[in-house]
Chain A
Amino acid sequence: MNLKPLFEPRTLAVIGISSANERHPANVIFEKNNHRYPVEVFGVNPKGGKLHDEPLYERLVDIPKKIDLAVIAARADFVPDILTECIRAGVKSAAIISGGFAEGGRQDLQDRMVAVAREAKFPFLGPNCLGLFVPFRVDTFFLPIERMIKPAPGNVAFISQSGGILVDQMIKFTQQGVGMSKAVSIGNKALIREIDLLKYLLSDPVTKVIAFYVEGFAEGEGREFVLAADCSPKPVILMKSGKSAAGHRAVSSHTASLAGDYASFAAAIAQHNIVEAANEQELVSFCEVLSSYTKPIDGRIGIITGSGGHGAMAVDAAAVAGLSVPEFADDLKASLQNGLNPSIRSIASMGNPVDLTGSALDDDFVACARTLAASPEVDCIIVLLLPYLPGVTLDIGVRLSQVQKQFKKPIIAYVPHVEKYNMMIDGFELNGTPVSPSIEGAVLMAKGLMRKKPC
């Protein structure tokens, strides 16, 4: 199966356009792509006619161009035949938005489509899905354009079994400034499954981080998936639901009882270099940090803060996350102190966290970050930045980013995310330093870097 026409279509056919219902998914998809994306869009309706001033084609074969991607939003009963027609017309891929297949008791329809597509090596997404969103290329989500939140273009691909979780996650990525390369909803995943997308994205030059929302794998599929991810140079992140589902079978061995479905799932993915995100906050944090830094760390954190309370909160969160916050050696403490401006030298505390107090200047944060970046005692630095301190300026983000780049040691910042501080946040993020809106989130970012080293 060649997935390139699916992700990089130059021509798009939207099948199932309604002349009566403006809010029909096919109409929304047609409208949002037509003249808004570089893809050339053709509407299909068996009765022909027009949608606004655009002609609708009665049959796929009537379209004057070869179609890379067909979006199918017709009634389930019609879809197997439409799929056959796509293949006959030389269409190269499809996203089947329609529902009413395996999830609605019509496994037979779904099986028919898979059989036809498999024989023709014809890739299709879904059914019962949103399809895909690729920034500046194509968007098959049937969500009106004015309501959709689109993250900035970036290097995180997110594949989701649930369309709702995908759209919601795109909102969270946007809020936290995580850029996306692809967003794919796979729905019933009748043909294209996680492993196919993993393999495609591993060789996609735009994608650096591959994240999944998975409800479950089919028989033996989990094994195949983790083995494919094991040696991936790109971080693979997975968020799972259905963890609490209790086994219904009575188990007669201790092992079967202790190695329940989720315990086995978690063990197998962790063993194969996949980062499990326990919840949405971890997912967003891991995606953001791993899109900036890919080198695994051991998890020895140095914390620099402008407030003692923030430092203490971060230390507690680090303990929960399994990170260590080591006590600094005396000579490291001395070099930290020597780097400070004289006015805070006597009041700042050089333990870990380094508490620079509310009187610290940009120069103090930068000097401490440089000293810790040069020291082997820590392998990651968290800077808890209070943008309301008088001595901290908008330049702090770009200056700390330079330190991170020069010493090749990850720096993670905490800055409250409100509009007023956006320029400071941009100073970090646009220069490659991840910023979390919470102390806990910054610590989770460091946790995300503690993944197994790829083989």
Chain B
Amino acid sequence: MLKKDISDLLKKSKKWGWVLEPDAQRIFSLSGFQTPMFDVATGPEEALRIVRKIGYPVVAKIVSPAVVHKSDVKGVVVGVRDDETLLAALARFQQIDGFVGMLIAEMVKGLELIIGAKNDLQFGPMILVGMGGVGVEIYKDVSLRMAPLKPRDADNMLDELTAKKLLTGYRGSEPVNLAALKKTLVNFSKLMMDLQNVVESVDLNPVMCNPKSCLVVDSRIMLK
């Protein structure tokens, strides 16, 4: 059974056909996934109040029901370190179609992965993991399985990635917390089973994995 808070967020999003990022992040946070600290500002005072709480550097992102792909409209500013840059970003976002707010989030470091789900007509929820970021459809270094995943499936999926070596530490880079990554995958697959009647597809992109943990940094839930 879905928690009531989650069903409410999904119900509220139905009119857009997808879940706005702040709500999607709340859904994952409520479901036990780690997310960076974040809040949403609509004006300058609110933005400054939020950033005092989170602390620089932060990332600023457009929230708009009309913008599914934020990068395409230059709706993401990473590495914001001062009030001036933050307020300039806000002023610019306010001009973007459908602006309802600016999401301000703590910056996290790590290897950029994508974890996703698609509700397949023949096979139901399918889970994907791979190298994330904006280049995901260029490199296509991904692995797919039918949900729910057993821990062994999660192992096999990561073994299939060409970039597997980057996960275990390559040429001096730090290895990611594989146990946390596998746990994230398995739990995500279970959540997707619970959501299969309402969700069409999900991108968690990127999921930032570092030696300590895996955080869902950005999420997009497309509804049926």
Using a CB–CB cutoff of 8 Å, the interface residues on chain A facing chain B are 216-223, 226, 251-259, 261, 263-265, 267-268, 271-272
Nearest CB in chain A to that of B142: its residue: A258
B137 contacts A222, CB within 8 Å?
A: no
Q: How far is the CB of B143 from chain A (nearest CB, A)?
A: 8
- The distance in angstroms between the C-alpha atoms of A447 and B126, with both chains bound, is 26
Contacts of B124 in A (CB 8 A): 220, 223
B123 contacts A223, CB within 8 Å?
A: yes
B217 interface hit (Cβ, 8 Å): no
B222 contacts A256, CB within 8 Å?
A: yes
Q: Bin chain B's interface residue count.
A: 20 to 34
6 closest A-B pairs by CB? A255-B116, A222-B122, A267-B144, A256-B201, A253-B201, A259-B118
B121 interface hit (Cβ, 8 Å): yes
B202 interface hit (Cβ, 8 Å): yes
Contacts of A216 in B (CB 8 A): 122
| Interface residue SS majority, chain B | strand
Contacts of B203 in A (CB 8 A): 253-255
Q: B122: which of A219, A252, A256, A258 is its contact (CB, 8 Å)?
A: A219
Nearest CB in chain A to that of B144: its residue: A267
Contacts of B144 in A (CB 8 A): 258-259, 263-264, 267
Known: A223-B124, A252-B68, A256-B201. 6 other contacts (CB 8 A): A222-B120, A223-B123, A255-B116, A258-B130, A258-B140, A264-B146
- The distance in angstroms between the C-alpha atoms of A256 and B137, with both chains bound, is 11
Q: How far is the CB of A340 from chain B (nearest CB, A)?
A: 40
- The distance in angstroms between the C-alpha atoms of A222 and B122, with both chains bound, is 5
Contacts of B214 in A (CB 8 A): none
Nearest CB in chain A to that of B204: its residue: A255
- The distance in angstroms between the C-alpha atoms of A16 and B203, with both chains bound, is 56
A253 contacts B202, CB within 8 Å?
A: yes
B114 interface hit (Cβ, 8 Å): yes
Q: Which of B120-157 contact A (CB under 8 A)?
A: 120-124, 126, 128, 130, 136-137, 140, 142-146, 153
Show 7 A/B contacts (Cβ-Cβ < 8 Å), sorted by A.
A219-B121, A223-B123, A251-B201, A257-B137, A267-B126, A268-B120, A268-B123
Per-residue 0/1 for B94-119: is the Cβ within 8 Å of any A Cβ (1 yes, 0 no)?
A: 00000000000000000000101110
Using a CB–CB cutoff of 8 Å, the interface residues on chain B facing chain A are 18, 68-69, 114, 116-118, 120-124, 126, 128, 130, 136-137, 140, 142-146, 153, 200-203, 205, 220, 222
- The distance in angstroms between the C-alpha atoms of A222 and B124, with both chains bound, is 8
Contacts of B122 in A (CB 8 A): 216-223, 261, 264-265, 268
A255 contacts B123, CB within 8 Å?
A: no
Contacts of B69 in A (CB 8 A): 252
A252 contacts B146, CB within 8 Å?
A: no
B126 contacts A259, CB within 8 Å?
A: yes
Q: How far is the CB of A273 from chain B (nearest CB, A)?
A: 12
A253 contacts B118, CB within 8 Å?
A: yes
B146 contacts A226, CB within 8 Å?
A: yes
A259 contacts B146, CB within 8 Å?
A: no
- The distance in angstroms between the C-alpha atoms of A220 and B203, with both chains bound, is 22
Contacts of B123 in A (CB 8 A): 222-223, 226, 264-265, 268
Contacts of A255 in B (CB 8 A): 114, 116-118, 128, 201-203
- The distance in angstroms between the C-alpha atoms of A217 and B146, with both chains bound, is 15
Q: How far is the CB of A399 from chain B (nearest CB, A)?
A: 40
A258 contacts B136, CB within 8 Å?
A: yes
- The distance in angstroms between the C-alpha atoms of A264 and B144, with both chains bound, is 7
Contacts of B202 in A (CB 8 A): 253, 255
Contacts of A265 in B (CB 8 A): 122-123
Nearest CB in chain B to that of A252: its residue: B68
A271 contacts B145, CB within 8 Å?
A: yes
Take A264-B120, A264-B144 as given contacts and tell me if A253 and B126 are in contact as well, using a CB distance cutoff of 8 Å.
Answer: no
Contacts of A251 in B (CB 8 A): 201
- The distance in angstroms between the C-alpha atoms of A271 and B126, with both chains bound, is 11
Contacts of A272 in B (CB 8 A): 146
Q: How far is the CB of A396 from chain B (nearest CB, A)?
A: 40
B145 contacts A259, CB within 8 Å?
A: no
A268 contacts B126, CB within 8 Å?
A: yes
- The distance in angstroms between the C-alpha atoms of A223 and B119, with both chains bound, is 12
Q: How far is the CB of B41 from chain A (nearest CB, A)?
A: 26
Contacts of B117 in A (CB 8 A): 255
- The distance in angstroms between the C-alpha atoms of A122 and B124, with both chains bound, is 29
Nearest CB in chain B to that of A249: its residue: B200
B153 contacts A271, CB within 8 Å?
A: yes
- The distance in angstroms between the C-alpha atoms of A251 and B121, with both chains bound, is 14
Nearest CB in chain B to that of A217: its residue: B122
Contacts of A222 in B (CB 8 A): 120, 122-123
A253 contacts B222, CB within 8 Å?
A: yes
- The distance in angstroms between the C-alpha atoms of A271 and B144, with both chains bound, is 9
- The distance in angstroms between the C-alpha atoms of A395 and B188, with both chains bound, is 59
A256 contacts B145, CB within 8 Å?
A: no
Contacts of A217 in B (CB 8 A): 122
Nearest CB in chain B to that of A272: its residue: B146
- The distance in angstroms between the C-alpha atoms of A261 and B114, with both chains bound, is 19
A254 contacts B114, CB within 8 Å?
A: yes
Contacts of A257 in B (CB 8 A): 137
- The distance in angstroms between the C-alpha atoms of A216 and B123, with both chains bound, is 11
Q: B116: which of A218, A258, A261 is its contact (CB, 8 Å)?
A: A258
- The distance in angstroms between the C-alpha atoms of A217 and B220, with both chains bound, is 28
Contacts of B118 in A (CB 8 A): 253, 255-256, 259, 264
Q: How far is the CB of A32 from chain B (nearest CB, A)?
A: 37
- The distance in angstroms between the C-alpha atoms of A222 and B131, with both chains bound, is 27
- The distance in angstroms between the C-alpha atoms of A251 and B117, with both chains bound, is 13
Nearest CB in chain A to that of B120: its residue: A264
Contacts of A256 in B (CB 8 A): 118, 200-201, 222
- The distance in angstroms between the C-alpha atoms of A252 and B221, with both chains bound, is 10
